[in-house]
A and B are shown apart, each in its own frame.
Chain A
Amino acid sequence: MVKAQGTSLYTTKGVIILDSEGKRMLSKYYTNDYPTLKEQKVFEKSLFDKTRKSSSEIIMFDNQIIVFKNSIDVFIYILGSADENELILSHLLSSFYESLSILLKGQVEKRAILESFDVVVLALDETVDGGIILESDPNNVASRVTKKGSEADIPLSEQTVTQVWQRAQEQLARSLLK
């Protein structure tokens, strides 16, 4: 992998999602800073300890800039090198969070993330590709992520959601026609 430099587009060193106890839900490292699981766990644990009580959204840790966001019972982290533009990273974080929010219908929380893990990993894949920001518009990201399997076997619970959605559309159309 090309080393992150000032003039390269490799801005992101990793994306991590931890739950409210600091347990890993998803970790994607784009560089080899923490090659083994053990090192990653140590890093994630100390990162979590540093940020769990913090109300702010940015920290300098282990010689990297880390922006993070606490949503209900999950923590989302974006890692960047120490000389990265903090605002780029924070832009990326909010765009990733927004796209999750669209895809998970505003419920960016542990249960929803685990239930729709496929959607979450695809959203990440559409946001960052190997350390390069691939898309920073949350609407575009969300529209590029496909939901679960084909139409035929949508379970009852989801069907109702679809129906609710349709009803809402109808209602909107009616109100516009008036």
Chain B
Amino acid sequence: MNLGKKDEDSDAGLFFHIDKSTVLQEARAFNETPINPRKCRLILTKIVYLLYQSEVFHTQEATETFFSITKLFQSQDTPLRQMVYLLIKELSTVAEDVIMVTSSLMRDMNAKSDVIYRANAIRALAKITDSSMLQAIERFIKQAIVDKNPSVSSAALVSSLHLFGANKDVVRRWANEVQESINSKGPITQYHALGLMYQIRQHDRMAVIKLVQNYSRGSLRSPLAYCMLIRYACKIMEDEEPGSRSLYDLLEGWLRHKHDMVVYEAARAICDLRDVTSKELFPAVSALQLMLVNHKPTLRFAAIRTLSKLAMTHPAAVFPCNLDMENLITDPNRSIATFAITTLLKTGNEASVDRLMKQITGFMNEISDEFKIIVIDAIRSLCLKFPAKQSLMLNFLSNVLRDEGGYEYKRAIVDAILDIIYHIPESKEFALSHLCEFIEDCEFNKLAVRILHLLGREGPKTSKPSKYIRYIYNRVILENATVRAAAVSALARFAVHLPELRDRVKVLLTRCLDDNEDEVRDRAVMYLRIIDDEDLCKRYIADETTYSWPSLERKLVEYVNDEAAHSSAFDISTTPVITAAQERAERARVATAAAELAVPTLRSTQGGPTPSAPSSTPAARGAVPSAAGDAQAGYAAAMEKIPELAGLGSLFKSSKPVELTESETEYVVSCVKHVFSEHLVFQFDCRNTLNDSLLENVNVVMKLETSEDDDATALVQDKAIPIQRLIYDIPGTAYVVYSRPGGVCPTATFSNALRFIVKDCDPSTGEPDSEEGYEDEYLLEDLDLVTADYMLPSYIVDFKRTWEELGEATEVTETYALTNVASIKAAVQNLLQLLGMHPCDGSDMVKDKATTHTLLLSGVYVGGTKVVCRCRMVLGDDGVTLEVTARSPDQDVGRRVVDAVC
């Protein structure tokens, strides 16, 4: 074996111990005359090999090599020439002055005879050219696009696609040639031409529709081209009014295409349609179902992945495939098997659960930890869906808990059990006894500590608390210090909550006083001291509240960075205190967000998660606001860097960007509204789309236009931070700061305009033609400041309880008739947008054709006031009748919420 390996290495002869400096030495051969094509091509190959090994070439090395390679143009040897082109492309990103070879390349691309390297020359040329040179070669590229040789035409089209990013205007002028080449003989050339045509016309809706309709009749020969047509069709339908689907029939037709690729693309597209109905889904699901039994793993993978995603939103539509998916559980490709399980767990009904669990048990041992975790997560959500099956699930989980496995896997199981305990109270005692057994032999301290903590909290509330004490005390005897300390704390809780056990626990705690670890002794001493004092117990043990960790962290960072504040101690009282339940909810949210990232396949793919995307578990829905939180952290960090804005304190809420211009205008502006404790900051993200002008001193002029709110007059514009220079296509940000004394939170409308100095400049260099500029103004659309801007969506675990706790006394109710809303679904979407609150208990999911619905919302208003809101809707002949009821400790806030709907 060893011998054979040696052999192989020496076979690799050419590249064995290859070294950059030696190769560059060898490259001197390029200067010899006459040129030896064979030798030179070999050296070029070596250089490519190094490049593809990601060897770093420094600019100077690359430039020198590049220019010695250009010497090889003297040789007319075709194979050598082709290799030269590859090198020119590969080195063009590192070397300098690559534009020097333009003329050599132009000669080759216009070569009369049909030499094979014409296409290579075009691609190399496009790679080295820049905007200023493009004008000069434009004519030749246009000619090449309509060349009768498909490979030349393709090369020109693909190069144009690469060039399009930076030279949109120039490439747009080639539309006629591109149009002509769609009818080319080469199938792949059609694909390229179609792709470029779309890029050129993408903002012209009618043109795209025509493009799709013209070529949907079968004049294209490349299946790739059809895949693109399908995507364009979807893009068109995305912008359509809900309910109308002009191009659906085309998609359905493509489901019968002879290429799997096209069939799959169409099926996938239908599954991704917004608000797709089960009737529309049916043919697509049938097509995918056929693919599930294909012998090619890729097809099965593609089909099951799509179905798995679909099952999150439309489990019923996927149901007919259940039998086929069950066969996939044993698929040799583990990714396919895992998708199959997770999908089945979503589509399964209560009756099939037993069978499914049996199947899963059968192969649990064969798969890697990573897949096991996915399966465990799926089982967890299944268990929450069918609480009646909890004993079966718990048995399964405790069985797998006993198997071998790494920490992550064990943690997933423990998490799942904890979740089940939390959501299904009946399962508590059963689950606790399983966990007790687990810690008897648990190699992971972290898990043992968590379970002990849980036992301390839940154990005293069970019917036979005394039996847990034995398990816990065993830990004190047998485990290491970390676990012992946790066990002592857990014991103490039993003593506090159960007076009848107090004396016995005290005996146990007294024994811990001899422990050889400080922490364990200290805890024991403390608990022994406070156990008999009710007040102290309440303060130190029974208190279930905690600080909100993220805000505590942020406050601490602020404190540490602020030298001036160091003279006094950190004031923890400004950190919001939350209950343990809230903390749990928060953690569940973060965990789910992380899980969503870990399984991105299951997520909506195009354009990331949409706020309206309904997900299957309540916790998953929490992931959306947390993503918004990330954006907010980004804004906060950006503003922190600006001295004028740094002192505004902590950011309460940032709105989503609002477009203040059309996307195809000279200047594109969007606005993000930030609410601070005493200020409002309007962040204007501006982009200059004119490459022949340079804007300086760009100010946003905001004026308070109208407001029905008396508080609006209190708003005072504080400062405005202009953009110094706004260069073509490089975004800039201007800020306007309003102070809101006393924390008033009015709704209002602002008129906005950009005021700036324009200077004409050279499109290619961006240098202004003259120092003189002229002032100009550009009107933007009005900006509304609404109630939602002051509202932070917040997740609450138990809506009903919060609702009851706030009580009727704080209630504000109003009834509205929404005449211009056609469906309950639309009304729900509107409400979510208007109020900016978080939907609870999955109430944002509306059944198709529902006529009544109740939407439950929760949020935190600026200043930290909690608000919950119930919206009851009835669909009548003349629109939706809506009753909004808000409860909040502060009735003013409730009133504002209710008033926001109108």
A→B interface (CB under 8 Å): 1-2, 6-9, 24, 26-28, 37, 40, 54-60, 63, 67, 82-83, 85-88, 90-91, 110-111, 114-115, 117-118, 121-122, 125, 129-130, 132-137, 140, 144-150, 153
A63-B600, A144-B116 given; A122·B82 CB < 8 A: yes
Partner among B15, B38, B191, B305 whose Cβ is within 8 Å of the Cβ of A153: B38
Contacts of B743 in A (CB 8 A): none
Which residues on the A side are within 8 Å of B606 (C-beta)?
6, 83
Q: Is B228 in contact with chain A by the CB < 8 A criterion? A: yes
A5 to B334, CA, bound (A): 28
Cβ distance A113 to chain B, nearest Cβ, rounded Å: 10
Interface flags, B115-129, vs A, CB<8A=1, else 0: 010011001000000
Interface 0/1 of B287-308, CB less than 8 Å to A: 0000000001111011001000
Q: When the two chains form their complex, are residues B235 and A90 in contact, meaning their CB atoms are under 8 A apart? A: no
- Residues of chain A within 8 A (CB-CB) of B54 are 27, 37, 40
B669 within 8 A of A: no
Most buried by A among B54, B199, B268: B54
Shortest B152–chain A CB gap in Å is 11
Could you tell me which residues of chain B, from 213 to 228, have a CB within 8 Å of some CB in chain A?
A: 222-224, 227-228
B526 to chain A, nearest CB (A): 47
Looking across the interface, which residue of chain B has its beta carbon closest to that of A11?
Answer: B224
Residue numbers in A under 8 Å from B235 (CB-CB): 6-7
Give the distance to chain A from B477, nearest Cβ to Cβ, in Å: 42
B44 interface residue per 8 A CB criterion:
yes
Q: Is B879 an interface residue (CB 8 A)?
A: no
Cβ A91 vs Cβ B261 within 8 A = yes
CB contacts (< 8 Å) of B188 on chain A: these are: 133-137, 140
Q: List 26 A-B contacts (CB under 8 A).
A: A7-B232, A8-B195, A27-B52, A54-B333, A56-B297, A57-B296, A57-B297, A57-B298, A58-B301, A59-B335, A60-B335, A63-B600, A83-B605, A86-B298, A88-B224, A90-B296, A110-B12, A114-B12, A114-B15, A115-B14, A129-B123, A129-B162, A134-B188, A146-B82, A146-B116, A148-B79
Note all chain B residues with C-beta closer than 8 A to A147: 79
B484 contacts the other chain (CB 8 A): no
Pair A122/B335 contact, Cβ less than 8 Å: no
Q: Closest residue to B232 on the A side, CB-wise?
A: A7
Q: Is A58 touching B333 in the complex (CB atoms < 8 A)?
A: yes
Most buried by B among A1, A58, A90: A58
A146/B228 contact (C-beta < 8 A), A37-B54, A82-B600 known: no
B215 CB to nearest chain A CB (Å)? 15
Closest chain-A Cβ to B348's Cβ sits at a distance in Å of 23
Interface positions of B from 101 to 138, Cβ below 8 Å from A: 116, 119-120, 123
Complex alpha-carbon distance, A6 and B228, angstroms? 9
Please name all residues of chain B whose beta carbon is closer than 8 Å to the beta carbon of A83 when the two chains form the complex: 605-606
Interface of B, secondary structure class, is: helix
Q: How far is the CB of A117 from chain B (nearest CB, A)?
A: 5
Shortest Cβ distance from residue A93 to the other chain B in the assembled complex, whole angstroms: 9
Knowing A146-B82, A148-B38 touch, does A9 contact B261 (C-beta < 8 A)? no
Q: Are B297 and A58 in contact (CB under 8 A)?
A: yes
B604 vs chain A, min Cβ distance (A):
9
Distance, CA A57 to CA B188, complexed state (A): 25
Q: How far is the CB of B418 from chain A (nearest CB, A)?
A: 28
Complex CA gap A8/B228 in Å reads: 8
Q: Identify B301's interface contact among A26, A55, A86, A153, CB under 8 A.
A: A86
CB distance from B381 to the nearest CB of A (A): 20
In the complex, which residues of chain B have a beta carbon less than 8 angstroms from the beta carbon of A54?
333-334
Residues of B near A28 (CB, < 8 A) are 52
Distance between Cα atoms of A19 and B80 in the complex (Å) = 27
Given contacts A56-B333, A91-B224, A149-B39, list 14 more A-B pairs with CB under 8 A: A6-B606, A7-B232, A28-B52, A37-B56, A56-B301, A58-B335, A83-B606, A86-B302, A86-B305, A91-B223, A91-B261, A121-B86, A132-B158, A148-B38
Q: Is B83 an interface residue (CB 8 A)?
A: yes
Complex Cα spacing A26 to B49, Å: 7
Least Cβ distance of A66 to chain B in Å?
A: 11
| Beta-carbon contacts under 8 Å, B313-355 to A | 332-336
B20 interfacial contact with A, CB 8 Å: no
Chain B residues 25-82 with CB under 8 Å of chain A are: 36-39, 41-42, 44-45, 48-49, 52-54, 56, 77-80, 82
**Chain A, Cβ-Cβ closest to B599:** A60
State in angstroms the CA–CA spacing of A15 and B372 once bound together: 30
Tell me, in angstroms, the Cα distance from A7 to B11 when the chains sit together. 44
A150 to chain B, nearest CB (A): 5
Min CB gap B701→A, angstroms: 34
Distance A27 CA – B90 CA, assembled complex (angstroms): 13
Of all chain B residues, which has the CB nearest A5? B606
* A47 CB → nearest B CB, Å: 14
Measured between alpha carbons, how far is A111 from B228 in the docked complex, in Å?
Answer: 38
* Alpha-carbon gap, A140 to B249, bound state (A): 35
In chain B, residues 225-264, which have Cβ atoms closer than 8 Å to a Cβ of chain A? 227-228, 231-232, 234-235, 260-261, 264
Decide: A121 near B45, CB < 8 A? Known: A6-B231, A146-B82, A149-B38.
yes
Query: A27-B54, A133-B224 are contacts. A144–B161 as well, Cβ < 8 Å?
Result: no
Q: Say whether A87 contacts B333, CB under 8 Å.
A: no
| A149 with B14: CB separation less than 8 A | no
Of chain B, the residue at the smallest CB distance from A143 is B116
Closest 9 A/B residue pairs (Cβ): A149-B38, A83-B605, A56-B333, A146-B79, A86-B302, A9-B195, A87-B261, A118-B45, A56-B297
Across the interface, which residues of A come within 8 angstroms of B56, CB to CB? 37
CB distance from A136 to the nearest CB of B (A): 6
* Contact (A122, B86) CB under 8 Å given A86-B302, A110-B8, A135-B151: yes
Residue B154 at the chain A interface, CB threshold 8 Å: yes
Could you tell me the distance in whole angstroms from the C-beta of A101 to the nearest C-beta in chain B?
18
Minimum CB distance partner of B120 in chain A: A125
Does B601 touch A at the CB level, under 8 Å?
Answer: yes
A1 to B165, CA, bound (A): 8
> CB < 8 Å: which of B45, B158, B164, B302 contacts A85?
B302
Distance between Cα atoms of A121 and B48 in the complex (Å): 8
Query: Nearest A residue to B37 by beta-carbon distance?
Result: A149
B732 at the interface (CB under 8 A from A): no
Give the distance in Å from the alpha carbon of A90 to the alpha carbon of B473 in the complex. 59
Check B41 against A118 for contact (C-beta < 8 Å): yes
> Which of chain A's residues has its CB closest to B52's CB?
A26
Q: How far is the CB of A143 from chain B (nearest CB, A)?
A: 8
CA distance A91 to B222 in the complex (A): 12
Pick the most buried of A54, A63, A118, A140: most chain B CB atoms within 10 A of its CB: A118
Contacts of B260 in A (CB 8 A): 87
Specify the chain A residue showing the minimal Cβ separation from B235: A7
B844 at the interface (CB under 8 A from A): no
A132, B196: Cα distance in complex, Å: 12
User: Once the chains bind, are B231 and A7 in contact (CB under 8 Å)?
Assistant: yes
| Contact of B202 with A by CB under 8 A | yes
Contact of A87 among B45, B53, B89, B302 (CB under 8 A): B302
Which residues of chain B have C-beta atoms less than 8 A from A136's C-beta? Answer: 188, 222, 224
Interface assignment of B465: CB less than 8 Å from any CB of chain A: no
Q: Give A86 to B298 CA distance when docked, in angstroms.
A: 7
Bound CA span A31–B238, Å: 28
In angstroms, Cα B54 to Cα A40, docked, is: 9
Cα separation A57 to B605 with both chains bound (whole Å):
22
Chain A residues within an 8 Å CB radius of B89: 125
Confirm or deny: B735 has a beta carbon within 8 angstroms of a beta carbon on chain A.
Answer: no
Considering the complex, give the chain B residue whose CB is closest to the CB of A17: B52
Q: B77 contacts A149, CB within 8 Å?
A: yes
Does B521 interact with chain A (Cβ within 8 Å)? no
- Whether a CB of chain A sits under 8 angstroms from the CB of B673 is no
Chain B residues contacting A134 (CB-CB under 8 Å) are 154-155, 158, 188
Interchain CB contact under 8 A, B600 and A121: no
Q: Given contacts A24-B53, A91-B261, are A149 and B41 in contact (CB under 8 A)?
A: yes
**How far in angstroms is the closest Cβ of chain B from A158?**
11
Most B CB atoms within 10 A — which of A24, A85, A86, A87? A87
B192 touches A150 (CB 8 A): no
